[in-house]
């Protein structure tokens, strides 16, 4: 029995070492493969970190435009809804226009009243001007006639005075009789009276001319009234244009080609100036907003390329270019003060905002989508001095 069992034990003992060596070889091969893969992935990870700056918490951004009411009123028609695409100049919201139209009608009536009053004063000024011109000519003619009469009366008086003096000398020499002297005196008295009457006529004509000239003061008053009406008409025209602008503001239009992101009002709702009506953005104007660690800012510069992976589309890869590097860290715009005024200090690596423009995207990118960015390291980037506006 011992002889028969010996070969079986020998055979069993011979197979067991060969199976053990084979298992050890397999384990070593698997371990070597794992170590090789680990080294390859580790080397690739280190290489990527050397040639790229990675930011995993970036987002798609766009200019989100909030449209608000400029005039108070009731919303009568909401032409768009969330997700609708709109074109530049398209009416988005219509508000009740009745009150503003009544104000426009009132302003136009005031302008018509002012224009009518202006026309009346213009006609009155023209009438006074024509009347004054005629009266001025008549008064000037009366003055001329009166002055001519005064000159004639003055000449007659001078002649009568000369004749009286000569008659008195002749009467003293007994050349003429007393009756002739009395006649000469009567003639002088009449000539003197006629001169006084002529002078009075001149003064009367001059007074008439003064009345005509006084009408010129009325002309000056009318000119001032016309100037005041002109200023009032300008103010009314400005008010009318203001109401017309308010009327146009009651039709809220889009200033860009955009997509409606959200509406905040419903038809029939009364809104006040500044009330948000809706929010929209241009889907063709999107970019990546990334916050890069301050310790990595010097590794790239404006113009550096980037590869963008969108979480919503894991199989898509988009390229981009750095177009702007913020002039200040994001902490400078935080609501809480930094550093803390309590005196406690914990050093934290700050983040600097970076904008990356996207090119060649075949998918619709929506603001707020999470993306991962790999910015190529620029060997020519010389340091923080390159971090600035484009």
Alpha carbon distance 357, 359 (integer Å): 7
Cα–Cα distance between 189 and 156 in angstroms, integer? 11
Cβ-Cβ contacts under 8 Å for 76 (sequence gap 6 or more): 94, 95, 96, 267, 268
On whether both 262 and 168 belong to a single domain, the answer is: no
Task: Express each pLDDT in 133-153 by its tens digit.
Answer: 777 777 777 777 878 887 887
What's the CA gap between 216 and 75, in Å, rounded?
58
pTM: 0.61
Tell me: do 93 and 106 sit in the same domain: no
The total domain count for the chain is: 2
Asked, for residue 352, whether it belongs to a domain, the answer is no
**How high is the pLDDT of residue 18?**
61
Q: Which helix (H) or strand (E) holds 68?
A: strand 65-68
Cα angle for residues 177, 179, 181 (degrees, 5° grid): 75
Residues 236 and 140 occupy one common structural domain: yes
Reported as a pLDDT band with limits 50, 70 and 90, residue 112 is very high
Least confident of 5-19, 37-51, 120-134, 196-210: 5-19
Q: Is residue 319 part of a domain?
A: no
Predicted pLDDT at 389: 44
CATH of the domain at 139: 1.10.287.620
Q: Are 210 and 271 in the same domain?
A: no
Domain boundary among 226, 247, 268: 247
Average pLDDT, the chain: 83
Residue 339 confidence (pLDDT): 62
So what's the pLDDT on residue 48? 57
In a domain, 17, yes or no: no
pLDDT of residue 43: 65
Residue 375 has pLDDT above 50, yes or no: yes
User: What is the model's pLDDT at position 17?
Assistant: 57
Q: Which domain holds residue 70?
A: 66-97+251-280
- Residue ending a domain, among 264, 280, 296, is 280
Q: What is the DSSP letter of 6?
A: H
Contact 346, 20 (CB under 8 A): no
Residue of 61, 81, 122 lying closest to 286 (CA atoms): 61
């Amino acid at each position: 029995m011992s002889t028969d069992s010996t070969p079986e034990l020998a055979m069993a003992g011979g197979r067991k070492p060969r199976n053990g060596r084979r298992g050890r070889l397999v384990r070593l091969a698997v371990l070597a493969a794992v170590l090789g893969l680990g080294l390859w992935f580790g080397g690739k990870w280190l290489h990527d970190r050397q040639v790229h700056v990675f930011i995993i918490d970036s987002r798609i951004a766009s200019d989100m435009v909030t449209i608000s009411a400029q005039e108070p009123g009731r919303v009568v028609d909401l032409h768009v809804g969330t997700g609708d695409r709109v074109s530049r100049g398209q009416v988005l919201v219509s508000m009740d226009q009745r009150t503003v139209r009544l104000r426009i009608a009132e302003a136009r009536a005031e302008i018509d009243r002012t224009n009518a009053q202006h026309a009346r004063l213009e006609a009155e000024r023209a009438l006074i001007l024509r009347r004054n011109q005629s009266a001025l000519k008549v008064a000037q003619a009366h003055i001329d006639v009166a002055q001519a009469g005064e000159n004639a009366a003055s000449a007659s008086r001078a002649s009568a005075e000369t004749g009286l003096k000569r008659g008195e000398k002749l009467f003293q020499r007994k050349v003429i009789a007393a009756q002739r002297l009395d006649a000469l005196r009567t003639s002088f008295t009449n000539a003197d009276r006629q001169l006084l009457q002529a002078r009075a006529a001149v003064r009367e004509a001059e007074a008439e001319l003064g009345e005509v000239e006084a009408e010129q003061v009325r002309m000056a008053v009318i000119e001032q009234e016309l100037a005041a009406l002109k200023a009032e008409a300008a103010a009314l025209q400005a008010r009318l244009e203001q109401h017309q602008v308010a009327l146009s503001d009651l039709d809220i239009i889009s200033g860009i080609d955009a997509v409606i992101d959200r509406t905040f009002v419903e038809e029939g709702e009364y809104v006040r100036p500044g009330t948000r009506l809706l929010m929209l953005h241009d889907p063709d104007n999107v970019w990546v907003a990334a916050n890069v660690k301050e310790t990595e800012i010097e590794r790239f510069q404006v113009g550096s390329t980037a590869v963008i992976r969108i979480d919503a589309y894991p199989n898509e890869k988009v390229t981009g270019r750095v177009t702007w590097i913020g002039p200040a860290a994001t902490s400078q715009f935080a609501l809480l003060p930094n550093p803390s005024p309590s005196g406690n200090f914990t050093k934290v690596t700050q983040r600097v905002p970076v904008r990356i423009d996207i090119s060649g995207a075949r998918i619709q990118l929506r603001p707020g989508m999470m993306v991962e960015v790999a910015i190529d390291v620029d060997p020519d980037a010389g340091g923080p001095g390159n971090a600035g506006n484009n």
